[in-house]
Amino acid sequence: MPGVINMDELTDLDKAKMERDQKKIEVKLERWMMSKCCTEFMEAVQAGVEEDTLVKGIAEDKNPFKELKGGCVVC
Amino acid sequence: MGEMDTLKKEADGLKAQIEAARKAVNDTTMAAVASGVAAAPRVQLKNRKTLKGHLAKIYGLHWSADNRHMVSASQDGKLLIWDTYTGNKVYAIPLKSSWVMSCSMAPSGNLVASGGLDNMCTVVNIKAASPKTLRELDAHEGYLSHSRFLSDTELLTASGDTTCCLWDLETGKQKVIYKSHVGDCMCLAVSPDQNTFISGACDSTAKLWDIRDGGCKQTFIGHTSDINAIAFYPSGTAVITGSDDCTLKMYDLRADQEVNGYQDAALNAGVTSVSLSSSGRLIFAGYDNFNCNIWDSLKAEKVGVLSGHDNRVSCIGVPDDGLGVCTGSWDSFLKIWN
């Protein structure tokens, strides 16, 4: 089973090794420029905004959560 | 130099390299990039429904994938499943332990999970003739803070024992253990493509994990206290975190760093819960001070407030179709807004 370790049984030395090994993995990551990331993120959000009910609002007759007035509908 | 000192020096050196690499790609800010975007309109959502039925603090809520049903958990010892269109309770499931901290519903709508100070995650089949316990997942050595189903056969949990875990629900056994946090894990969120998940912990970091191989891919720093809430943006390329340090932070996964922060000098209440509108433009954040603030993701401005609860807002959720937002509170009520 991947990753089985009992945290209680780890010594301080084990934990220090784990940290060092984890940072060895993370240091290798290829990072993208913030300008590219932020621009793409902004475009993705704005592409969905027109359909976003909580931004745009909802018509009363289309609102599934509207308060149901008393009374019955006979079909 | 002892081995401990050598290891620490190595780790510190690597951390410095990581920070240098992050700085090297930091060529602009989200504020600058979003400066041309029109401000989000002042958001005035109305409380459409108040769901009454719990008798004590609500600790968790989770919408069904059908956008209509919802499960909520309270320390009155019950899970309630609601039809939010009518306000009716569809099922009431008594819990063996009332010290529940979270609940979740499977995408199929067939199963719900809950757990808390009993250190267990209990999975119940609500579509059986009468709700029936399917599994008691019992291997964590600390409280169960959060859970999310990948399917009817796999479930992710986060625990106060500092680990997260992937469970096989057919056998009831742990499949993968995710080990790297040095503080209690408080929350988790699954990426839209279900290949990774992100966890937030009391060590003030968020960590991105490969679901299948159990490896920690990235660690996000910057918060100065427990991370209580976390969510993925719909694009899958960024996450939002909420912390006891009273701030929210957006981290971009590809830039590997914080790209926006959401804080207000006047706010000195911790963030308990977070959820996003369907486009990701709006962040709904519940705080210890009984309110929910609405933030513009892009401009980092507060654009609204949901007030109406008489106690802490402990949980928030937006259904997949984005038609509303539900808040759950220690005042025992759930409120639906749009």
Give the model confidence (pLDDT) of B256-308 as tens digits: 999 999 999 888 999 999 999 999 999 999 999 898 999 999 999 999 999 99
Residue type, B284: F
Sheet holding B47-51, edge to edge: B47-51, B334-337, B325-329, B313-317
Nearest to A33 among B25, B278, B323 (CB): B25
Q: Which residues of B touch A15 (CB under 8 A)?
A: 182
> Given A42, A53, A63, which is nearest B37 (Cβ)?
A42
Beta strands in B245-308 (DSSP E): 248-252, 257-262, 271-276, 282-287, 292-296, 302-306
Between CA B303 and CA A9 the distance in angstroms is: 49
In what order do the strands lie in the sheet containing B154-159? B144-149, B154-159, B163-168, B173-179
Find, in chain A, the residue whose alpha carbon is nearest to that of B83.
A65
Q: What is the arithmetic mean of pLDDT over B124-149?
A: 94
In chain B, which residues have their Cβ closer than 8 Å to the Cβ of A64?
A: 68, 84-85, 323-324
**Measured distance CA(B145)–CA(B215) in Å, rounded:** 21
Q: How far is A39 from chain B (nearest CA, A)?
A: 6
Global pTM? 0.95
What is the tens place of the pLDDT at every residue in A32-71?
999 999 999 999 999 999 999 999 999 989 999 987 766 5
Residue in this structure with the two tokens 């600390």, named with its chain if needed: B142
Which of B9, B22, B27, B33 should be substituted to probe chain A, the one whose Cβ sees the most A Cβ atoms within 10 Å? B33
Q: What is the DSSP code (8-state) at residue B2?
A: -
- DSSP letter (8 states) at residue A68: P
Write down the residue that tokens 């993208």 correspond to: A32
Is residue A74's pLDDT more than 70?
A: no
Sign of CA dihedral B266, B268, B269, B273: positive
Task: Give CA torsion, residues A3, B225, B77, B91, to 10 deg.
Answer: -80
What is the spatial distance between Cα B42 and Cα A48, in angstroms, rounded to a whole number? Answer: 18
Phi, psi dihedrals of residue A38, rounded to the nearest 5°? -65, -40
pLDDT digits (tens, 9 = 90+) for B205-239: 999 999 999 999 999 999 999 999 999 999 999 99
CA–CA distance, B87 with B233 (Å, rounded to integer): 29
Instruction: Give the residue on B whose Cα is nearest the Cα of A4.
Output: B177
d(CA B229, CA B249): 11
Q: What Cα–Cα distance (Å) separates residue B237 from each residue in B22, B201, B208, B257?
A: 16, 20, 11, 12
Closest by Cα among B331, B281, B320 to B304: B281
pLDDT at residue B129, as a whole number: 86
Backbone angles phi, psi at A16, to 5 degrees: -65, -40
* pLDDT 10s digits, A1-10: 444 456 566 7
DSSP bridge partners of B219? B207
Q: What are phi and psi of A62, to 5 degrees?
A: -105, 5
Q: Provide, as residue numbers in chain A, all residues whose Cβ is less than 8 Å from the Cβ of B336.
A: 65
**Tell me, what's the ipTM?**
0.92
Inspect the interface and report whether the beta carbons of B214 and A3 lie closer than 8 Å: yes
| Residues in contact with A73: Cβ distance below 8 Å, sequence separation at least 6, in sequence order | none
Please give the full DSSP string across A4-33, using - where no structure is assigned. Answer: ---GGG--HHHHHHHHHHHHHHHTTPPPPP
Q: Cβ separation of B7 and A38 shorter than 8 Å?
A: no
What lies within 8 Å, CB to CB, of B188 at 6+ separation is: B146, B148, B156, B157, B158, B164, B197, B198, B199, B200, B230
Contact B129, B88 (CB under 8 A): no
Q: What is the pLDDT of residues B30-56, one digit of tens each?
A: 989 999 999 988 888 999 999 999 999
Q: What are phi and psi of B142, to 5 degrees?
A: -150, 180
